[in-house]
Each structure stands twice: as C-alpha cells, then as structure tokens.
C-alpha cells in the first residue's frame, strides 16, 4: 500500500460486514491531535501533512504507520483532491488504491449530506475486476475511514445475494466497491440506483477489458451522471490504444500519471533465479522454506493441477499449505486468505488468477515454482511482495523448460535477472512425514471410570 515504517494487522474483511466504519472509533478520535503525528520534512519526499486532509483521515493514516507518499500519491493527490478526473498507468503495490481512497474520504468528509438519502444510492462507486481486489480495496477503505461514520459495502459474486441486498437497503450507502456483474444484477432488480454517484473509480481497466467486462462497465457508467457531473478516476497497468480510448470517453481533461511496472519490481524486490532441474525443484523449495524458517510464503504455479500436487506434497512434508485457484469457492478463498494473513497457513500455492488481488502485510517472499510465460505476469507476481517501497524477495526456479522465458522477462524489465545454481545441500530432500494410520480395526471399548 503506502510507504511506511510499520503496518496494521487489522485484516478483518470478509466481504460481508459492511457496518459503519466510525461508530466505535469516533470517541477515540476526539482525543487525538494532528500534532501527535510527527513526520520530519524531507526535500525528496512528500508528507501527508503537506495536503489539507481531514483530521479523522490523518488519525487513520497515523494509526497505519504511514509517513511519506509514494510517487503516484505525490503526483495524483493534488489533482484528485481538487476534484479533477484522473487517468493513470499503475498496478497494485504502487499505492494507487490509497491515493484514490484518500481523495474520496476527504471529499465525503468535506461535503456531508444532511438531507435524507434513499437506500441503495451510493455517493461513491469503485469498480474492480475480481472478488479479491474488491475485498482488498474494501479493507483499505475501512482502515482509512476508521474514524469516519461511512457505510462501505462490497458487492461481488460467490457470496450470499440476499445478505448483500440487505446491506444495500439497510441504511444509506456512502461507498460501494463492486465487480461489474453482481453490481448490474442489483441495478436490474432496482435495489441499486447510480444516478447520485459523485465519484467513480475504475480500477485495473486492462483486466476489465481482458475479462470481457467492458460492455457491463459501459452500462454501469451510462447509469451514472455524465462525465463533468462526476469525478472519474481510471487506472490500468498497461496503456493500450483501447484503454486510452476508453479513458477519453469516460473522463474529462484528466490528470495523467504513469508509474512503470518495472519500477516496482526493480526498486523494491530482491530478485534471484535458481537454475535447477525439474527433478530437484521440490527439494529446493522445501529447503528454502524449512532452512530459512520462512513463515509466510506465496508460491506460484502456472497450472491448477500443478498447484494441487504441490500443495499436497508440501503438506506431506510437514509444511502447512493451502491452494488458491479460480475454481476454489469464494468462501473458501476468503477463509484461506484470512488464515494465511493470520499465520495459520505457512504456504499459499496459487495461480495467476489471484496474482493481482492478493495484498498481505509482512509477506516478504514470493516464489515462482514455474516462471510465467507472460513477462508482465512475472511483474504482477513479484509485486505481491516489496509493496510500495517495502523490502521483499522474489525467488524463481528456471528448469529445462522455464529457463527459455528469462530473456523475455529481462527485456520487459530492461534489466538482467541474477541467475545462480543452488548449493548441493539444498537439493537433498528428507523423508516425508509418515501418514497417520487409519482406524481399520475395531476400536477398543472404553471402560467406565470408577
């Protein structure tokens, strides 16, 4: 998220609880003063103090341990806070989510509505392509709006429809974070009304295009006030002609920012590639995790069947692992992510379908068990660690097949990847843990206590 010295462990988002963010915290905020949040000035950095942000927001930023703005926050906040549209190239990990949320929370705080509002009529709409990204944005919104009495609702498929409908109709909604399909379902049922949207954010527009969501996004945008009558912020990890045309049609004289993907990868992640045979890859993975006592590791494979086999094998060797793929039901995905964040799961084995949606504090190792075939996927994967300037490590295995993808990745990032051979001792695999014997025979009858 943001450049910071420490981070919160408040990972409560489950996609369901959408209650007001500030009821329990408002009394604490009344005792707090901005003067308690001390950040020294620096000639090459921008502080959050340098913007006219509400005290409630500054208190939340202080709680999160953030001090200086990331490059995208420095560039976009002056225009966004002034109400201008914005169009930027930026991926997750650059601090863009916090940038638009800080602007949104400032706007809502400075422009309260006293009149009675109709339920299901949000003031802010944030669209994202995946459930994981919706949950992540919602979590960050609640953290930053901790001392504000805002109703923030997340809407996405795979969760109970009636419960989400109850959240929309229970009390006036300030911010909705949603995937396009489920949002349209509620709009068609006349549970949701978008004519009062004041701020619209379209996140990861390139993935919206790739996943075929653009027709749905167009319908949603046409249901909101026309451009010029709303503030629109659009972000994309790539700037194709199609994305540029969409930005031109949906925004008006936007402020433009560009944070290159390779900046994130090169500047904040220590990258290493081990040249290893396919036969020895698992032994190397086991020893990297076991001998370094790594506690929270994200491992990427290219195929779902490979994810399943690897997670099973890690568990047989005593390393608690779970898998995360597109066909895992949403409730299980949410629970596994929560357990991983809480340290209950040591290794999460995943496919690229979740690469952009995962944001986990203090995850300092990402391992590419398979190198991706698309160089941009490599950048997205390693962007799960070393986020927004924090230190991180990416380890990749290049076997007889995957090594051919290294030149493309290097060309994309305009930098060489350090390749080395692992020490022979790291290629020695211990015996797996013995399986517990099943109770094949009759159980011994229990005796009554005397």
Task: Check for a shared fold between 26-259 and 263-427.
Answer: yes
d(CA 140, CA 265): 22
Structure-token match 């011994």, residue found: 444
- DSSP secondary structure letters along 237-304: SS--HHHHHHHHHH-SS-EEEE--HHHHHHHHEEEEEEE--GGGHHHHHHHHHHHTT-SSEEEE-SSH
Q: What is the pLDDT of residue 358?
A: 59
Q: What is the pLDDT of residue 448?
A: 45
Q: Strand, helix or coil at 384?
A: coil
Q: What is the pLDDT of residue 449?
A: 43
Residue 351 near residue 384, CB atoms below 8 Å: no
Residue 302 near residue 373, CB atoms below 8 Å: yes
Mind spelling out the 3-state secondary structure of 127-160? ECCCHHHHHHHHHHHHHHCCCCCCEEEEECCCCC
**Between the CA of residue 200 and those of 123, 126, 331, what are the distances in Å?**
9, 6, 28
d(CA 104, CA 123): 10
Positions of the chain with pLDDT lower than 50, given as ranges: 1-18, 23, 26-27, 262-265, 388-389, 439-450
Residue 44 gets the label, from left (phi > 0), alpha (psi -120 to 50) or beta, of alpha
Which overall architecture, per CATH, does domain 263-427 show? Answer: 3-Layer(aba) Sandwich (3.40)
Question: Residue 258 has which token pair?
Answer: 């560009």
Question: Residue 242 has which token pair?
Answer: 């199609």
d(CA 264, CA 161): 37
Q: What is the pLDDT of residue 225?
A: 97
Q: What is the pLDDT of residue 327?
A: 75
Q: What is the pLDDT of residue 381?
A: 83
Question: Residue 81 has which token pair?
Answer: 């806070």
Residue 101 near residue 144, CB atoms below 8 Å: yes
d(CA 396, CA 273): 5
Q: Where are the domains of the chain?
A: 26-259, 263-427
Q: Which residues contact 217 (CB under 8 A, 6 or more apart)?
A: 127, 180, 202, 208
Residue 85 near residue 233, CB atoms below 8 Å: yes
Domain 26-259 coded CATH 3.40.50.280: no
Residue 390 near residue 97, CB atoms below 8 Å: no
Strands 365-368 and 297-300: parallel
Question: Which of 355, 35, 404, 329 lies closest to 159, judged by CA?
Answer: 329
Q: What is the pLDDT of residue 299?
A: 95
d(CA 59, CA 219): 38
Q: What is the pLDDT of residue 363?
A: 67
Residue 129 near residue 208, CB atoms below 8 Å: yes
């Amino acid at each position: 998220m943001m450049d910071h010295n420490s981070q919160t462990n408040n990972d409560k988002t489950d996609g369901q609880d959408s209650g007001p963010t500030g009821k329990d915290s408002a009394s604490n905020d009344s005792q707090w003063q901005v003067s308690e949040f001390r950040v020294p000035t620096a000639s090459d950095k921008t502080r959050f103090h340098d913007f006219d942000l509400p005290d409630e927001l500054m208190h939340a930023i202080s709680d999160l341990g953030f001090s200086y703005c990331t490059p995208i926050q420095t560039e976009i906040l002056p225009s966004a806070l002034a109400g201008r549209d914005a169009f930027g190239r930026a991926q997750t990990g650059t601090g863009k989510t916090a940038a638009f949320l800080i602007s949104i929370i400032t706007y809502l705080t400075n422009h309260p509505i006293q009149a009675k509002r109709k339920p299901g009529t949000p003031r802010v709409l944030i669209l994202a392509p995946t459930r994981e990204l919706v949950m992540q944005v919602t979590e960050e919104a609640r953290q930053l709006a901790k001392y504000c009495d805002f109703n923030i609702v997340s809407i996405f498929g795979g969760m109970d429809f009636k419960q989400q409908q109850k959240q929309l109709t229970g009390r006036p909604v300030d911010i909705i974070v949603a995937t396009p399909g489920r949002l349209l379902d509620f709009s068609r049922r006349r549970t949701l009304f978008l004519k009062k949207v004041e701020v619209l954010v379209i996140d990861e527009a390139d993935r919206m295009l790739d996943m075929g969501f653009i027709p749905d996004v167009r319908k949603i945008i046409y249901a909101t006030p026309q451009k010029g009558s709303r503030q629109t912020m659009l972000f994309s990890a790539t700037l194709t002609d199609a994305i540029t045309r969409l930005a031109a049609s949906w925004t008006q004289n936007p402020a433009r920012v560009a944070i290159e993907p390779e900046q994130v990868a090169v500047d904040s992640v220590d990258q290493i590639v081990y040249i290893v045979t396919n036969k020895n890859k698992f032994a190397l993975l086991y020893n990297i995790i076991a001998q370094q006592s790594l506690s929270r590791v994200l491992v990427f494979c290219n195929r779902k069947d490979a994810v399943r086999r690897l997670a099973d094998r890690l568990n047989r060797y005593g390393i608690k692992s779970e898998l995360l793929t597109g066909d895992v039901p949403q409730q299980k995905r949410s629970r596994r992510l929560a357990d991983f964040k809480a340290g209950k799961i040591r290794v999460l084995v995943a496919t690229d379908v979740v690469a952009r949606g995962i944001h986990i504090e203090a995850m300092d190792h990402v391992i590419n068990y398979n190198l991706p075939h698309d160089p941009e996927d490599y950048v997205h994967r390693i962007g799960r660690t070393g986020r927004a300037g924090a230190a991180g490590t990416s380890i990749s295995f290049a076997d007889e097949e995957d090594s051919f993808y290294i030149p493309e990745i290097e060309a994309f990032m305009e930098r060489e990847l350090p390749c080395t051979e692992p020490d022979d001792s790291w290629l020695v695999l211990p015996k797996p843990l013995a399986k517990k014997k099943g109770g094949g025979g009759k159980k011994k009858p229990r005796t009554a206590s005397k």
